[in-house]
Structure 1
């Protein structure tokens, strides 16, 4: 075999392809996308190298999904105590220390950590290296650790470098100091006045959790409503709950400048042309996340970025170098742990077996949930997206205050909203607001993936009394809306005839 010369797209530098490779696949980053890619590669007997410079498990385990849900659960327990009278109790109280709650959060992270550990993945057959990776050619990665630097050759490279919190350029922000979803977990003293910038999923989840833990929370959002990707009725439900729980939600407010006056930290914001001054003790920046695209050879290699400053990929997860792939938050278009894992299957299969067959990544059924109370979950289109895209739909709405289990649990609030094709039971999208919405949505994800309509859900037995019955009831709403009226008239006549 002779050496092959490859020229990268829009790049003049040429590299020699090695005759032999140290590994089949080298993965940069051990978050959800990188771990699943490495797992699949090892499972099909490929030699795979996984490089992580910080913590195994990535953002989800260490600073994202796991710690935030642990904090939310503790906060929810406190909120349920405040509702004691709804459950037939005269009073209920608890003595707690904020530091103990945060210790619980860290303990839960440590309990789950072995699932993503070096030891586990080594046992699975993955060569795990702790160090900093840098792509130096389409087939070579330089790995630096405290002890040494070495170069590993590989047939394919997978970039799964994740993302980091977006920090806006607001004058004075650095001077007053700020928290992010990465650093907030280091708190041991409860902030008396917590200012949160951002009304998206991260900002909303943390705003409610800290408010329930006893912080006075002010949430600032530049848009006219919270969670603007959801329908307006969803945003309204969340806003009403936040206001009921004492969160000061400031919508249509633009942050202008941070400063300190007489020892007090202040944000100067603009609302309807007027200046608003907001005092706080700690500020948490929750304005989304940006892809990690520097520090490991992307710029030097000329790997193309998208307009959103993520790694640009094609339908097969390939970059402008056919043997360099990307998945997870660094590539988008969704920044969910489960989407990163979903992409990872395509990355592993295409990188290892693409010479025989390649698979286009399927984004048609991407569900997500925001773990506020009331919980919000969605898959497919919602109403505002359908209208924006000019897609005709019919709406079936089932209010959860009608559901027996929701009533017995004193959780009789929220709704399930299903969009279907006109005059058909084919599901276009589902939005659920209410208790266990993230669990209830799974049945609809399955139905949509395998093209099962509402008639199939209606014909499926659901245990009584459960929250899952709501899925059957909303299918019943659709059925009643499509009752054949002419047939009913005929049946009425038939039964009269049967009576004589």
Structure 2
């Protein structure tokens, strides 16, 4: 067994791990990166990238169906599902070189393609190596959670790790789970020709603002996606091409393929964490505000740290850890400025507190500003008048923003900057944006906070009248 020593040992070559490895190596640290599966992790191979590529194919098909409103004849698209999956594969292939072993070796990183397990607080082993490190960064991500449903072990099912291998469009896709993954895949497959039924034990999009969620769910239902809520799955049965899902109460939903999308679990099973003195729970590895584990040599970032399952969160965590590990700075991770987006059409984007969360936290100090997309000229010009923006404000500062509508994720960008830097609303209200753009809706929301303070204030009117009397 080869004995190695290094400054930083990164376990997991997903988004967070790659960011730490590249940053640390380029700033002069000795780095070993260990990955037992695919470089690029879940996001590149099974998550963000392929799902958005398939959603894009579905959007192209849907645009053919709904042109009549703009004076273009609506037609039924001819969908080549296999070609759509080729687009998914080509998108992954185009991004792969950036995450490749060759690129990181070129940056000076020692890449070991194997699984790692701790053997002591300061050492891990792979099949042929023992690595001692001054600091470890655990970035092993998460995997699809498969619930203990009766019969599931004997029925073929898909997860986000296998659904993109399909070459034929499902005739009737059953989806267990009404969260972001389930609904994104529901809409993409429906638009590409499948019948789709989503079965959710509680409320679909239950974490999100109910007004925004209702807008998204109505669109999916209008497109023909059957969404069944408050239906806990009790058992499944059948075979490939003929699957049945039975929910509590006895209702049975038949289909041809089954996708399980009920959540994710942290990838900690291979790590032998007790040997390193690292505590964990079902959510993930236990970390403090600096993302340190209970082993002073080890940090955990991204999905495995149990604080959220977003690629951009893993990247943010990587920056926090780099400041701590390389420079010894007391960097701490925040959570109040981390955005999330469900990439259905319309999208649902959220940063900071939802209205109900803000009401619970701030009470009577909270002001909520609500604007529809029909208040935006660009949205009207493009036929996108269905959508909403909610702005939660406390004493002149935004504490949360909800946007449901086309390109909502893109529209969230100025609010992400504002919350990250704790800016006042006046910064956005005073920004000049090009006309006509969708982003103007955000500026209008900021302006709506100040309008009553200026236009409905008798003291302002008296002051203006007084100034007018003395001006030459």
Which residue number corresponds to residue 413 of structure 2?
442
Q: Report the Cα distance in structure 2 between the residues aligned to 1:76 and 1:203, rounded to whole angstroms.
A: 17
Q: Quick check: 1:469 aligned with 2:440? A: yes
Q: How does 1:372-411 map to 2 (within 5 A)?
A: 372-389=344-361, 391=363, 392-411=365-384
Corresponding residue for residue 196 of structure 1: 175
Q: What secondary structure does 1:448 align onto?
A: helix
Residues 285 and 293 of structure 2 are in contact (CA less than 8 Å); yes or no, is this contact kept in structure 1? yes
- Deviation, 1:36, is 0.6
- Which residue of 1 is the match for residue 37 of structure 2? 54
Q: 1:492 to 1:159 in 2, by over 3 A?
A: closer
2:49 is the alignment partner of 1:66: yes
The answer as to 2:396 corresponding to 1:425 is yes
Question: The residue matched to 2:251 in structure 1 has which SS?
Answer: strand
Residue 125, structure 1, aligned to residue 108, structure 2: yes
Note if contact 2:118-2:272 (Cα within 8 Å) is conserved in structure 1: yes
Structure 2 Cα separation of the partners of residues 262 and 399 of structure 1? 45
Moved more, 195-204 or 258-267: 258-267
Moved more, 254-263 or 116-125: 254-263
Distance (Å, rounded) in 2 between the aligned partners of 1:376 and 1:455: 25
Cα distance, 1:387 vs. partner?
3.1
Q: Are residues 1:43 and 2:22 paired?
A: no
Distance 1:93 1:264, change over 3 A: closer
Larger radius of gyration: 1
Question: Residues 492 and 299 of structure 1: is their aligned pair in 2 closer, same or farther, counting only changes over 3 Å?
Answer: closer
Q: How does 1:150-161 map to 2 (within 5 A)?
A: 150-161=129-140
* Conserved 8 A contact 2:79-2:193: no
Partner of 2:336: 364
> What does residue 333 of structure 1 align with?
307
What is the DSSP-based 3-state SS (H/G/I as helix, E as strand, rest coil) of the residue aligned with 1:233? helix
How far is the alpha carbon of 1:210 from its aligned partner? 0.8
Q: What is the TM-score with the length of structure 1 in the denominator?
A: 0.89
- Answering whether residue 287 of structure 2 is matched by residue 313 of structure 1, we say yes
Q: 1:348 aligns with which of 316, 322, 325?
A: 322
SS at match of 1:132: coil
- Give structure 2 stretches of 5+ with no counterpart: none
Paired residues of 2:373 and 2:386 also in contact (CA < 8 A) = yes
> Among residues 220, 230, 243, which one is paired with 2:208 in the alignment?
230
- CA shift, 1:395, in A, is 0.6
Deviation at 1:239, TM superposition (A): 1.4
Alpha-carbon distance in structure 1 between the residues aligned to 2:146 and 2:427: 47
Cα deviation per residue 1:10-55 (whole Å; 9 max; x = unaligned)? Answer: xxxxxxxxxx972101111000110011011112100000011111
Closer, same or farther: CA 151–200 of 1 in aligned 2, 3 Å: same
What are the equivalent positions in structure 2 for 1:93-132 lying under 5 Å apart? Answer: 93-132=76-115
Unaligned runs of 5+ in 1: 1-19
Say which of 287, 298, 305 aligns to 2:273.
298
Offset at 1:481? 3.2
Q: Structure 1 residues 352 and 485 mapped into 2: Cα distance closer, same or farther (>3 Å)?
A: closer
Aligned residues: 468
- Report if the CA contact (8 A) 2:216-2:404 is conserved: no
Residue 116 of structure 2 aligns to a residue whose secondary structure is strand
Q: Secondary structure at the match of 1:22?
A: strand
| Aligned partner of 2:296 among 322, 335, 343 | 322
Partner of 1:187: 166
Deviations 1:163-220 (A, max 9, x none): 0000010001121211001110111111101011111111111111111111100001
What SS class does the counterpart of residue 283 from structure 1 fall into? Answer: strand
Q: Tell me the residue number matched to 1:416.
A: 389
Which of residues 250, 259, 262 is equivalent to 2:237? 259
Match of 2:260 in 1: 285
State the shift of 1:89 in Å. 1.2
String of CA shifts for 1:96-144, please: whole Å, max 9, x gaps: 3111111110111000111111111111121111112121122222122
* Superposed displacement of residue 87, structure 1: 2.1
Q: Displacement, 1:420?
A: 0.5
| 1:498–1:240 Cα change, 3 Å | farther
Contact 1:24–1:352 (8 Å) recurs in 2: no
Distance (Å, rounded) in 2 between the aligned partners of 1:446 and 1:496: 39
Question: Residues 68-83 of structure 1: matches in 2 within 5 Å?
Answer: 68-83=51-66
Equivalent pair of 1:197/1:219 in contact (CA under 8 Å): yes
- 1:458 equivalent to 2:429? Answer yes
- Once residues 242 and 78 of structure 2 are traced to their aligned partners in structure 1, the CA distance between those partners, rounded to angstroms, is 30
Question: Do the aligned partners of residues 210 and 56 (structure 1) sit closer, same or farther apart at CA in structure 2, a change above 3 Å counting?
Answer: same
1:16 corresponds in structure 2 to none
Measure the CA separation in 1 of the matches of 2:306 and 2:382.
Answer: 38
Aligned with 2:250: secondary structure?
A: strand
Q: Following the alignment from structure 1 to structure 2, what is the Cα–Cα distance between the partners of residues 93 and 279?
A: 26
Of residues 332-341 and 451-460 in structure 1, the stretch that sits farther from structure 2 once superposed is 451-460
